[in-house]
Amino acid sequence: MQYFSFRKMSLLLVIVLVVGAFGVIGTASAQDDERTLNILYWQAPSTLNVFLSGGTKEIHAASLVLEPLARYDQDGNLVPYLATEIPTLENGGISEDLTTITWNLRDDIVWSDGTPFTADDVVFSWEFCTNPELGCSQVQNFNDVENVEAVDDHTVLITFGGPKPFPYGPFVGAQSPIFQRAQFQDCVGADAQSCTEENFNPIGTGPYVVEEFRPNDVITYVVNENYRDFPEKPFFTRVNFKGGGDAESAARAVLETGEFDYAWNLQVEFPILQAMEANGIGTIISGFGTSVERLIVNQTNPNPDLGDLRSVFEADGSNAHPFLTDPAVYRALSMAIDRNVMAEQLYGPTGRATCNVLPAPAIYASTNNDSCLVQDIEGANALLDEAGIVDTDGDGIREKDGVPLRILYQTSTNALRQNEQALIKQWWSEIGVDTELRNIDASVFFGGDPASPDTYQKFYADIEMYTNNFDGTDPESYMSNWACNNIPGPDTGWLGNNIQRSCDPEYDALVEQMARTADLEDRAALAIQMNDMIVQNGWMIPLIHRGAVSARRNDLEGVLMNVWDSELWNIADWTRAS
Partner 1 sequence: MSKFIIRRLLTAIPTLLVISFVVFAILELSPADPVGNLPLTIPPEVRAQIREKMGADDPFMVKYVKWVNQFMINEPLNILEETTGISIGNSEERLRYISWQTRSPIIDLVIQRLPQTLWVVGTSYLLAILIAVPIGVISAYKQYSIFDQVGTFLAMIGFSVPTFFTGLLFIIIFSVNLKWFPSVYDTTHKVSISDIDSVIFQLRQMFMPTAVLALFFTAQMSRFTRSSMLENLNQDYVRTARSKGLSEKYVVLKHVLRNSLIPVVTLIALGIPGIFQGAIITEQIFRVNGLGQLLIIAIQGGDLPTVQTLTFIFAVLIVFGNIAADIAYAILDPRVVYN
- Asked if 335 touches partner 1 (CB under 8 A), the answer is no
Q: Which of 8, 10, 19, 519 binds partner 1 (CB under 8 A)?
A: 10
Output 249 or 439, the one with its CB closest to partner 1.
249
Give 30 or 315: the residue with its C-beta nearer to partner 1. Answer: 30
Q: How many CB atoms lie within 10 A of CB 172?
A: 27
Q: Which of residues 352-381 bind partner 1 (CB under 8 A)?
A: none
CB of 407 to partner 1, least distance (A): 23
DSSP state of 345: I
Nearer to partner 1, 276 or 372 (CB): 276
**Choices 19-27, 148-156, 357-365, 395-403 (CB under 8 A): range interacting with partner 1:** 19-27
Nearest to 265 by CA among 556, 547, 54, 555: 547
Establish how many alpha carbons lie within 13 A of residue 417's alpha carbon, considering only the half-sphere containing its beta carbon: 19
- Interface positions, 212-241, toward partner 1 (CB under 8 A): 212, 214-218, 220, 240
- The span of 28-36, 95-103, 363-371, 547-555 binding partner 1 (CB under 8 A) equals 28-36
- Residue 548 corresponds to which amino acid? A
Q: How distant, in Å, are the alpha carbons of 63, 83, 212 from that of 266?
A: 20, 34, 26
Question: In the complex with partner 1, which residue's Cβ is closer, 180 or 498?
Answer: 498
Of these, 8, 9, 97, 403, which contacts partner 1 (CB under 8 A)? 9
CB of 36 to partner 1, least distance (A): 12
Contacts with partner 1 in 257-296 (CB under 8 A)? Answer: 257, 259-260
CB of 173 to partner 1, least distance (A): 11
Query: Which one, 5 or 367, has the nearer CB to partner 1?
Result: 5
How many Cα atoms occupy the beta-carbon half-sphere of 277 within 13 Å?
A: 15
Cis omega (within 30 of 0) on the bond before 177?
A: no
Q: To the nearest whole angstrom, how small is the minimum distance from the Cβ of residue 563 to partner 1?
A: 13
Touching partner 1, residues 482-541 (CB under 8 A) = 488, 493-497
**Nearer CB in complex with partner 1: 100/141:** 141
- Whole-number minimum distance, CB 202 to partner 1, in Å? 13
As a three-state string, the secondary structure of 520-543 is: HHHHHHHHHHHHHHHHHCCCEEEE
| Identified binder of partner 1 from the candidate list 277, 454, 555, 573, rule CB under 8 A | 454
**Cα gap 222→187, rounded to integer Å:** 25
Helix (H, G, I), strand (E, B) or coil at 510: helix
Q: How far, rounded to the nearest angstrom, does the alpha carbon of residue 446 sit from its chain's CA centroid? A: 13
CA 332 from centroid of its chain's CA atoms: 30
Q: Footprint of partner 1 on residues 35-74 (CB under 8 A)?
A: 40, 44, 46-47, 49, 52-56
Q: Which of positions 139-198 make contact with partner 1 (CB under 8 A)? A: 139-140, 190, 192-194, 196
| Dihedral class, residue 474 (left if φ above 0, else alpha if ψ from -120 to 50, else beta) | beta
- Does 252 participate in binding partner 1 (rule CB under 8 A)? yes
Phi and psi angles of residue 559, each rounded to the nearest 5 degrees, phi first = -75, 125
Contacts of 315 (CB under 8 A, 6+ apart): 503
Distance CA(252)–CA(259), nearest Å, equals: 9
**How far is the C-alpha of 128 from the C-alpha of 119, rounded, in Å?**
14
Residue 159 CB burial class (10 angstroms; 0-12, 13-18, ≥19): middle
For the CB of residue 90, give the shortest distance to partner 1 in the complex, in Å: 29
The answer to whether the CB of 481 falls within 8 A of the CB of 498 is: yes
Q: Single out the residue of 425, 386, 381, 387 nearest to residue 406, CA to CA.
A: 425
Q: What are phi and psi of 278, to 5 degrees?
A: -60, -15
Judged by CB under 8 A, which stretch of 243-251, 350-358, 388-396, 511-519 contacts partner 1? 243-251
The nearest distance, CB 223 to partner 1, in angstroms, is 17
Tell me, by CB under 8 A, how many residues bind partner 1: 89
Answer for which of 107, 395, 449, 512 binds partner 1 (CB under 8 A) is 449
Q: How far apart are CA 405 and CA 491, in angstroms?
A: 30
| Interior angle at CA 441, CA 438 and CA 445, nearest 5 | 80
Stretch that binds partner 1, among 72-80, 328-336, 427-435, 462-470 (CB under 8 A): 462-470
Name the residue nearer to partner 1 (CB basis): 84 or 279.
Answer: 279
Shortest spacing between CB 155 and partner 1, in angstroms: 29
Report the 10 Å Cβ neighbour count for 475.
25
Angle between helices 520-536 and 505-516 (to 10 degrees): 160
Whichever of 35 and 214 has its CB closer to partner 1, that residue is 214
Return the range that interacts with partner 1 (CB under 8 A); candidates 81-89, 337-345, 445-453, 526-534.
Answer: 445-453
The site string for partner 1 over 399-438 (x = CB under 8 A, - otherwise) reads ----------------------------------------
The residue within the footprint of partner 1, chosen from 13, 390, 422, 520 (CB under 8 A), is: 13
Residue 234, preceding peptide bond in cis (omega within 30° of 0): yes
Quick one: 153 or 212, whose CB is closer to partner 1?
212
Interface stretch with partner 1, choices 78-86, 209-217, 265-273, 344-352 (CB under 8 A):
209-217
**Residues within window 86-145 making contact with partner 1, judged by CB under 8 A:** 132-140
Calpha distance 211→194 (Å, rounded)? 20
Q: Is 33 in the site for partner 1 (CB under 8 A)?
A: no
